[in-house]
């Protein structure tokens, strides 16, 4: 039937023209999910009943002649750190294994209002801490391109489910690269919006000044359609920004003439796999041939981005995860007194990486060390942000590899620091609050390579225009075809 | 600046985490590794730099002081590990 090759707009047309019903579409995707899950393991929970009910509801609207939006009646899935009322939200952690949220995240609510059909919740590194989904408290997710390799993380389930044809789109969250990196590893399009562009209300917090929710899709147009639904000011999130929200699809033009593209030399230094570098350089050449003006630039403080992040993020996480105390929700390990209960509950509920980051963060914020570590890291963060501000005076978009290598094999990065180093190109973008997108740009050893584009605050439009132009002049976004085929 | 096992134990107490002896040793080693890496931040002169807490600046985000309904009690206690009459029951504090 090739339904899995259809874009959101194509499926929407089919629904409106009554060529297919939402019920049929949802059933087809659910069948795909159940057939493919034994090999991919992208989902923590699948909700057939809930999904079919919503599909029928949308079919009712269509048959009564009601106008429906692009996302209506079409299945999707959410990373399991986004609250869905009545549906367990685990954050990939034993701490919240049976947590049933009493409310919907704003992004959940906005997608529901568009008529989106939630089919399930997606696997992730526990509390969004990790870059391979190996830190999930439950099981690992496999990269649909090669089952022995990681899908990336922390939104591994979000990327794998889209690449594997289980859902046409998903939402992930990105704190240091957790949307873009798995998107790169799995050959899909993943956008981290400007900080404050998408509400964090109902997103289980990891690092409050860095977290953002964004869409993962097979192509750029689909990504813009989903961003349209979820972006925009939310009074329930005090870090949400009031901005003039555009219709993001208006930027989907095949034209980069005169676009000034900056290539930061620090992103092409030691550590970058030579084969990945070739692919990225070729992609930059393609954009240049299409009329973009490419020039080199420098972000002098980039080497300090990783250590800065690995002080700030754990510090914020230690604060955000203090709430998991066994008192009012989540896991509780009983004890004779409160402190023992806290200690036992948290010891049992959290995995290694989470504990490590809580410890690191607590130390960095503790009396006597706060100035030397946390405060100093925040000052370096200012320097990093200023680097970007300077560069954006001359350039419209920056380009880099999304990751230094292709997806690695399970267990390859057991040492924490070697895992952290994979985020070297994505982390600076979160520190500066900028929007960043990863798009498929080629293959090395049969594994996808992601190209990252970065722009100024609230300039998702330029990212989409550049990405769309690249996509229209190459075929990499169509490569998932083999994986998407109906099972 | 190296962190000792004793300090790790203290940090674990602050973080309300119960660690085994083995975990304490492993975390001491790993934290030292990460903190060692973070030491490179000391190389920079940040004397007159203003710290960034939020990348996109916001100040005094307020709302009108109007009373709105809170979440219904049933929803609040729905996930309680131990609940009685709308209260969360916990072990003695002192």
A71-98 confidence digits (pLDDT tens) = 999 999 999 999 999 999 999 999 999 9
Interface list for B 41-80 with A (CB within 8 A): 41-42, 44, 46, 49-56, 58, 61, 63, 71, 75-80
Could you tell me which residues are beta bridge partners of residue A264? A297
Report how many domains make up chain B: 1
The pLDDT confidence band at residue A3, using thresholds 50, 70 and 90, is confident
In order along its 94 residues, chain B shows pLDDT tens digits of: 688 999 999 999 999 999 999 999 999 999 999 888 888 999 999 999 999 988 888 888 998 999 999 999 999 999 999 999 999 999 988 7
B66 contacts in A (CB within 8 Å)?
A: none
CB contact (8 A) between residue B61 and residue A347? no
What's the CATH number where B30 sits? 1.10.20.60
The Cα A192–Cα A176 span in angstroms is 10
Asked whether the predicted pLDDT for residue A487 surpasses 60, the reply is no
Residue A85 counted as domain residue:
yes
Asked whether the predicted pLDDT for residue A481 surpasses 90, the reply is no
Cα-atom radius of gyration of chain A, to the nearest Å? 21
Could you report the per-residue pLDDT of A177-234, keeping only the tens digit for each?
Answer: 999 999 999 999 999 999 999 999 999 999 999 999 999 999 999 999 999 999 999 9
Asked whether the predicted pLDDT for residue A57 surpasses 80, the reply is yes
The Cα A428–Cα A434 span in angstroms is 9
Report how many domains make up chain A: 1
Q: Which has more confidence, A482 or B32?
A: B32
Residues belonging to chain A = 487
Q: Which residues contact A230 (CB under 8 A, 6 or more apart)?
A: A107, A110, A111, A171, A198, A199, A213, A215
Residue B83 counted as domain residue:
no
Residue-range definition of the domain harbouring residue B20: 1-44
Residue A56 counted as domain residue:
yes
Residue A367 counted as domain residue:
no
- For B51, which of A334, A342, A378 is closest by C-beta distance? A378
The Cα A391–Cα A389 span in angstroms is 6
CA A197 to chain centre: 14
CB contact (8 A) between residue A366 and residue B14? yes
Residue B24 counted as domain residue:
yes
Residue A135 counted as domain residue:
yes
Could you report the per-residue pLDDT of A245-285, keeping only the tens digit for each?
Answer: 999 999 999 999 999 999 999 999 989 999 999 999 999 99
Alpha-carbon distance A435 to nearest alpha carbon in chain B (angstroms):
12
Residue A309 counted as domain residue:
no
CB contact (8 A) between residue A340 and residue B91? yes
Neighbours of A49 (CB within 10 A): 8
Residue B34 counted as domain residue:
yes
What average pLDDT is seen over chain A? Answer: 96
State yes or no: is A178 an active-site residue: yes
The Cα A192–Cα A228 span in angstroms is 14
Residue B59 counted as domain residue:
no
DSSP characters for A266-287?
GGGSTTS-HHHHHHHHHHHHHH
CA A1 to chain centre: 29
The DSSP call for residue A423 is G
Given this model, what pLDDT does residue A482 score?
Answer: 65
What's the CATH number where A87 sits? 3.90.1300.10
Q: Which residues contact A208 (CB under 8 A, 6 or more apart)?
A: A200, A239, A316, A320
Asked whether the predicted pLDDT for residue A1 surpasses 60, the reply is no
Given this model, what pLDDT does residue A486 score?
Answer: 55
Residue A321 counted as domain residue:
no
């Amino acid at each position: 039937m090739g339904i899995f090759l259809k874009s959101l707009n194509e499926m929407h047309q089919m629904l409106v023209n009554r060529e297919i019903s939402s019920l049929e579409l949802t059933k087809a995707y659910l069948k795909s999910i159940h057939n493919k899950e034994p090999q991919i393991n992208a989902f923590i929970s699948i909700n057939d009943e809930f999904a079919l009910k919503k599909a029928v509801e949308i079919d009712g609207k269509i048959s009564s002649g009601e106008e429906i939006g692009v996302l209506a009646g079409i299945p999707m899935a959410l990373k399991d750190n986004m609250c869905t009322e009545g549906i367990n939200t685990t954050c990939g952690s034993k701490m919240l294994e049976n947590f049933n949220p009493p409310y919907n995240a704003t992004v959940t609510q906005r997608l529901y209002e568009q008529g989106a059909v939630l089919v399930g919740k997606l696997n992730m590194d526990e509390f969004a801490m990790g870059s391979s989904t190996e830190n999930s408290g439950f099981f690992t997710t496999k990269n649909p391109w090669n089952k022995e390799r990681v899908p990336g993380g922390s939104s591994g389930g979000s990327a794998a489910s889209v690449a594997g044809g289980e859902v046409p789109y998903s939402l992930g969250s990105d704190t240091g690269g957790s949307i873009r990196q798995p998107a790169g590893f799995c050959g899909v399009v993943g956008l981290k919006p400007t900080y404050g562009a998408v509400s964090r209300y109902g997103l289980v917090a990891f690092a409050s000044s860095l977290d953002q929710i964004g869409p993962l899709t097979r192509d750029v147009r689909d990504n813009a359609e989903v961003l349209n639904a979820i972006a925009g000011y939310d009074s329930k999130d005090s870090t949400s920004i009031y901005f003039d929200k555009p219709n993001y699809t208006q930027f989907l033009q095949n034209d980069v003439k005169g676009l000034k593209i900056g290539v930061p030399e620090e992103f092409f230094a030691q550590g970058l796999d030579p084969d990945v570098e070739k692919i990225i350089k070729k992609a930059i050449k393609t954009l240049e041939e299409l009329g973009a003006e490419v020039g080199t630039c420098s972000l002098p403080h980039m080497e300090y981005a990783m250590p800065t992040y690995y002080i700030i993020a754990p510090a914020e996480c230690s604060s955000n995860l203090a709430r998991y105390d066994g008192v009012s929700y989540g896991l509780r390990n009983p004890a004779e007194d409160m402190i023992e209960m806290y200690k036992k509950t948290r010891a049992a509920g959290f995995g290694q990486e989470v504990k490590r980051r809580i410890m690191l963060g607590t130390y960095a914020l503790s009396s006597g060390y706060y100035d030397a570590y946390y405060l100093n890291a925040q000052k370096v963060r200012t320097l990093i942000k200023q680097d970007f501000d300077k560069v954006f005076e001359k350039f419209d978009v920056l380009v880099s590899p999304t990751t230094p290598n292709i997806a690695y094999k399970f267990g390859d990065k057991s040492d924490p620091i070697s895992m952290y180093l994979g985020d070297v190109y994505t982390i600076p973008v979160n520190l500066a609050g900028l929007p960043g997108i990863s798009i498929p740009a080629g293959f090395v050893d049969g594994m996808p390579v992601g190209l990252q584009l970065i722009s100024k605050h609230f300039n998702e439009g330029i990212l989409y225009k550049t990405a769309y132009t690249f996509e229209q002049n190459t075929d990499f976004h169509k490569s998932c075809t083999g994986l998407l085929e109906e099972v | 600046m190296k962190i000792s096992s004793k300090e790790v134990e203290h940090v674990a107490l602050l973080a309300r985490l119960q660690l085994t002896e083995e975990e304490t040793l492993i975390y001491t080693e790993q934290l030292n590794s990460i903190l060692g890496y973070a030491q490179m931040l000391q190389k920079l002169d940040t004397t007159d730099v203003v710290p960034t807490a939020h990348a996109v600046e916001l100040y005094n985000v307020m709302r009108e002081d109007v009373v709105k309904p809170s979440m219904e009690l049933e929803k609040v206690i729905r996930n309680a590990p131990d609940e009685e009459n709308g209260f969360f029951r916990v072990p003695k504090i002192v």
